[in-house]
Amino acid sequence: MDGAYLEIRDLVKSYDGKTRALDRVSLSARRGEFVTFLGPSGSGKTTTLMVIAGFEAPDAGLVRVAGQSMAGVPPHKRGIGVVFQNYALFPHRTALQNVMFPLLMRKVPRAQAARKAAEMLDLVGLADFGNRHPRQLSGGQQQRVALARALVFDPTLLLLDEPLGALDKNLREQMQLEIKRIQRALHVTTVFVTHDQSEAMALSDRIVVFEGGRIQQDATPLEIYNRPRTEFVARFVGDSNLLRARITDPGAGIAEVEGLGPSRVLPQQAQVLPNGQGTLLLRPEALAPAEADAPNRLVLAVEEVVHFGDSALLIGRAGGVTLRARIGGRAAQGIGAGAQVPLGWRPDAAHLIGA
Ligand SMILES: Nc1ncnc2c1ncn2[C@@H]1O[C@H](COP(=O)(O)OP(=O)(O)O)[C@@H](O)[C@H]1O
Ligand SMILES: [Mg+2]
């Protein structure tokens, strides 16, 4: 692709000669872009990262970085910085020595390496921790050291494999912001792996959704959320109502929707649905307490209410299907099981997925 800094074409990889861990994976990233691989366990995210880094050889396909083929180039000659989930710090070296290591490997003089490593520790917020050993650092601090070590030699690419998986929720969110800040400051092209959709949404310029060794969708976070290409993506990213739909009038944008009956949908979406059959995605927040002019309306027989404070999730039945609706915390006050709540949804808040 034009302007691609990282380019991957048709990667195929099997570990056992039978099943494909990667089945024709293609993607690219522009310089400075933050791309996230999102998918369930076993979907091929790590394998793709390992092939990019050169720790695994693909059976077929190619990897190019800055226009150079990586075929036959050993990992240490690729100039790629990698951070793994388990940090993999040297336990008997201090934080500073850990960060200096890649520079010493590259024959940078010791004093210069120490200076650069100290700068990196400063960038990740650990200026005063250089003399500590990993066991004297918290998980979050160890992760920062690993990040500094991956960045210290000005890598061509930064690869992060579930780097925050071992951290608790608050620390994870704090580190997400830190990673984003550092990535922006250095403008380093980054591939981040996670199975956590909210982490992917928070960090990425682009999300590549993996399943079963294949790419399901490659798009911006909002496209992935609002216009998932498959039911798998719709379910994996965000909360969803998925209802079978059959277009009855493509010109006017009318669909017969499971449980909801004839409903207004966007004609431009209805017209591209193969055979007029598909699935209607209604995010829970698309179902709002009915406004008088909402084109599609229903009454939800509430079975359960989950209060989040700022919002509430209503789970109930309408027309024989179970629906989830997310409404404002105030609007939810006084609503409990057994309530009949009028809700509406607009065609442009829904999305049709081809069958
Ligand atoms: N070293 C390995 N040897 C054999 N099979 C592996 C190895 N690494 C991964 N696999 C298999 O390849 C598939 C993809 O794994 P992986 O890339 O680790 O997925 P993810 O990182 O998305 O969880 C899985 O079925 C996994 O069991
Ligand atoms: Mg993995």
Note the pLDDT tens digit of each residue in 287-314.
Answer: 988 776 789 999 999 999 999 999 999 9
* Domain locations along the chain: 4-231, 242-354
CB of 41 closer than 6 angstroms to any ligand 1 atom: yes
- Fold designation for 242-354: OB fold (Dihydrolipoamide Acetyltransferase, E2P) (2.40.50)
46 lines ligand 1 (CB under 6 A): yes
Cβ 32 under 6 angstroms from ligand 1: no
Which ligand 1 atom sits nearest the alpha carbon of residue 161?
Answer: 21
Q: What is the pLDDT of residues 317-327, one digit of tens each?
A: 999 999 999 99
Residue in 90, 92, 80 with CA at minimum distance from that of residue 151: 80
Quick check: 182 and 40 in contact, CB under 8 A?
no
Pick the CATH number of 4-231 from 3.40.50.720, 3.40.50.11540, 3.40.50.300, 3.20.20.120: 3.40.50.300
- Closest atom of ligand 1 to 22 CA is 14
Residue 312 near residue 286 (C-beta atoms within 8 A): no
**Other Cβ atoms within 10 Å of 337 Cβ, number:** 12
CA–CA dist 263, 4 (Å, integer): 42
- Work out whether strand 60-65 and strand 4-13 pair parallel, antiparallel, or are unpaired: antiparallel
* Of 225, 176, 220, 196, the residue nearest 41 (C-alpha): 196
Whose CA is closest to 351, among 240, 259, 193? 240
- Can you give 70-112 as a three-state secondary structure string? CCCCCHHHCCEEEECCCCCCCCCCCHHHHHHHHHHHCCCCHHH
Contacts of 352 (CB under 8 A, 6+ apart): 245, 255, 265, 266, 269, 270, 273, 278, 279, 280, 281
For ligand 2, the distance from its centroid to the CA atom of residue 41, given in whole angstroms, is 6
165 lines ligand 1 (CB under 6 A): no
Is the Cβ atom of 47 under 6 angstroms away from ligand 1? Answer: yes
Q: Does the CB atom of residue 44 touch ligand 1 within 6 A?
A: yes
The residues, ordered by sequence, that sit 6+ positions from 321 with a Cβ below 8 Å of its Cβ are 243, 258, 259, 260
Which amino acid type is present at position 23?
D
Selection from 209, 169, 163 nearest residue 182 by Cα: 163
In this structure, the residue with its CA closest to atom 3 of ligand 1 is 15
Q: Quick one: which atom of ligand 1 is closest to the CA of 37?
A: 22
| Average pLDDT for runs of 10 along the chain of length 355 | 84 96 97 97 97 96 96 93 86 97 95 97 94 94 94 95 87 90 93 94 96 98 96 95 96 94 94 90 91 86 95 96 95 93 94 89
Q: Output the CA 41–ligand 1 centroid distance in Å.
A: 8
Is there a contact between 19 and 30 (Cβ–Cβ < 8 Å)?
no
Question: Which atom of ligand 1 is least distant from the CA of 47?
Answer: 17
> HSE-up of 90 (CA within 13 Å, CB side)?
12
Whose C-alpha lies nearest to ligand 1, atom 16? 44
194 lines ligand 1 (CB under 6 A): no
What does pTM read for this prediction? 0.93
Best CA proximity match to 148, nearest among 173, 161, 130, 166: 130
Note the pLDDT tens digit of each residue in 185-222: 999 999 999 999 999 999 999 999 999 999 999 999 99
